[in-house]
Amino acid sequence: MRSSFSPADHPDSYYVATARDLVERPALDETLNVDIGVIGGGLTGINTALELAQAGFSVAVLEAHRIGWGASGRNGGELIRGIGHDLTPFEPHIGQEGIHALQMMGFEAVDIVRERIQRYDIDCDLHWGYADLAMRPRHLRALEAEQAELQALGYPHQLALLDRHSVTQVVNSDRYLGALVDEGSGHLHPLNLLLGEASAAERLGVRLFESSPAQQLQVVNDKVVVTTPKGVLNCDQLVLAGNAYIGHQLAPYAGARVLPAGSYVVATESLDESLCEQLMPGGRAVADMRVALDYYRISKDRRLIFGGLCTYSGRDPQDIRAALQPNLAHVFPQLKEVALEYAWGGMIGIGANRLPQIGHIPGQPQVLYAQAYAGHGLNATHMAARVLAEHLQGHSERFDIFHRVPHMAFPGGAYLRSPLLAVGMLWHRFKDLF
């Protein structure tokens, strides 16, 4: 059954307007017994279910809204290598071997997406090529160091370091001092990727339920019982994959360790092909290196998809178009008057140390979680799903690397933590000026 999908179901985004396979799925209205339950119908939850179904497990996914409703269906669509940010602080917990394993997983994460698309023939506008853009001399030094590190690790894709004069090969703007071009990263239509993966999971027997918020979870006789408004899910083990939307009441431990931060995107009207090539030769995705970064790319139907404006206050801008249009015009003054046909936003999950969080609830090894991708979830969710599936099959080496890293609960509880972090982020933005 096809659904009209009003904005109440999904944000009124470019992705929803151009989505394929927007299939309406039922709510859970029975008592269902499965091997593995999953809460959250985003990239983490769907890919965990897909991995486990491939291994022969019976799996059910509960989504409070619609498949892809959260950040998985709203993000900028940039598929970028890497897991976490600076990994050096984690060496006391996981050693140099653990650091190296995380670096290799950062490469593998993109490969998983590539393999998913090929294996299940998912039409999601995949385009290879990405660049980090330097705006300060220290950014250039960081890119030089990153290129050297990637080459030392044996990164298998082409890298190119560009100076101020040659950066126009990627972005025709005078804002940037240079760039590191990576042909092994790229961009795609994230909602169509997820919907294709959800269909593949269903073909393997996964049960997907929409409009089925988890209201309560309990561990009873080593089994996990999840209650929804109309049904009950009984499972041997449960995966919490709600990320920024998991909430404190359902999962206090996981919820306290992830901060919902607002991120916002606009999409222009369709542009002339010649203008697209002038603005962004080669059509790569890009992001600058500031804390309050801009990220953007040109879609298959020649729209500039431009995002940023990350907010930690818990308040959305009153007008996303008005908030992002000046940022877009700073990069491309020639687009100052271009129509912004779509504008949307939502919450991404951020942890205090910017490393994805994968583990189990203390005292409840049956209840696992994966969250806090800090804006790099398109690849990291797929890696997290694989790590969770390995652990659930008894292969916990990579799960244990993540689980050994401690994650601080945000201070101030559900109401004060966002304002406190917003004050802290002002300091990082101030440092961006130098």
* pLDDT, tens digit, 9 for 90 and up, residues 22-57: 999 999 999 999 999 999 999 999 999 999 999 999
> What angle in degrees, to the nearest 10, is found between the helix axes of 43-54 and 377-392?
40
Name the helix (H) or strand (E) containing 413.
Answer: helix 413-431
Average pLDDT, the chain: 92
Q: Which fold has domain 14-75+191-258+353-411?
A: FAD/NAD(P)-binding domain (3.50.50)
Distance CA 35, CA 204 (A): 14
Residue 419's pLDDT is what? 54
Please check the confidence at residue 356 and state whether its pLDDT lies above 70. Answer: yes
Q: Would you say residue 3 has pLDDT above 90?
A: no
> pLDDT per residue over 269-297, tens digit each?
999 999 999 999 999 999 999 988 999 99
pLDDT at 147 over 80: yes
Average pLDDT over residues 185-194: 98
pLDDT score recorded for residue 314: 63
Whether residue 430 has pLDDT greater than 80: no
The CA distance from 252 to 248, in Å, is: 4
* Cβ-contact 164, 200 below 8 angstroms: no
Region 72-81: what's the mean pLDDT? 97
In which band, very low, low, confident or very high, does the pLDDT at 427 lie, cut at 50, 70 and 90?
A: very low
> What per-residue confidence (pLDDT) applies to 421?
54
Q: Say what the pLDDT of residue 313 is.
A: 66
In this predicted structure, what is the pLDDT of residue 220? 95
Going by C-alpha positions, the residue among 339, 286, 35, 337 that lies closest to residue 143 is: 286
Mean pLDDT value of segment 409-416:
66
pLDDT range class, residue 2, cuts 50, 70, 90 = very low
Q: Is the pLDDT of residue 420 over 50?
A: yes
Q: What is the pLDDT of residue 411?
A: 76
* pLDDT in the model for residue 1: 27
Looking at residue 426, its pLDDT comes to 47
If you average pLDDT over residues 384-407, what whole number do you get? 98
Domain ranges of the chain: 14-75+191-258+353-411
Over residues 295-351, the pLDDT tens digits come to: 999 999 999 999 988 777 667 888 999 999 999 999 999 999 999 999 999 999 999
The pLDDT value recorded for residue 6 is: 42
Q: What percent of the chain has pLDDT over 70?
A: 92
* Residue 5 clears pLDDT 50, i.e. is over it: no
pLDDT of residue 297: 98
Answer yes or no: is pLDDT of 429 > 50.
no
Residue 85 is predicted with a pLDDT of: 83
* Burial profile 220-258: b = 16 or more Cβ within 10 angstroms, e = fewer: eeeebbbebeebebebbbbbbbbbbbbbeebbebbbbbb
Spacing of C-alpha 72 from chain mean position: 6
The whole-angstrom distance between residue 279's C-alpha and the CA centroid of its chain comes to 26
